[in-house]
Structure 1
Amino acid sequence: HLALCSPGDVSQLWMLVLVNCGGQPFSVVQVQHIFTPVAISHTLALAATLDAQGYSVNDIIHILMAEGGQA
Structure 2
Amino acid sequence: MQLSPETGLLSTPEGWCVCAEFRTEFGGFFPVQCRFSADGSDDWHLCVCSPGEVSPYWLLVLLSSGGEVVRTLYQSDTLQPDRINQLIAQLAGMRRFNCTASTVVNLMSVEVTA
- Superposition TM-score tier, normalisation by shorter sequence: 0.7 to 0.9
Partner of 2:28: none
How many residues were matched structurally?
Answer: 69
- Structure with bigger helix share is 1
Instruction: Give the percent of matched residue pairs that are identical in Structure 1 and Structure 2.
Output: 28
The unaligned stretches of length 5 or more in structure 2 are: 1-44
Does structure 1 retain, via aligned residues, the 8 Å contact 2:63–2:101? no
TM-score under structure 1 length normalisation: 0.78
CA distance in 1, matches of 2:68, 2:106: 19
TM-score under structure 2 length normalisation: 0.52
| Structure ranking higher on relative contact order (CA contacts 8 Å, 6+ apart) | 1
**Is 1:46 aligned to residue 101 of structure 2?**
no
Question: Larger Rg: 1 or 2?
Answer: 2
Greater Cα shift, 46-55 or 7-16: 46-55
CA distance in 2, matches of 1:9, 1:16: 16
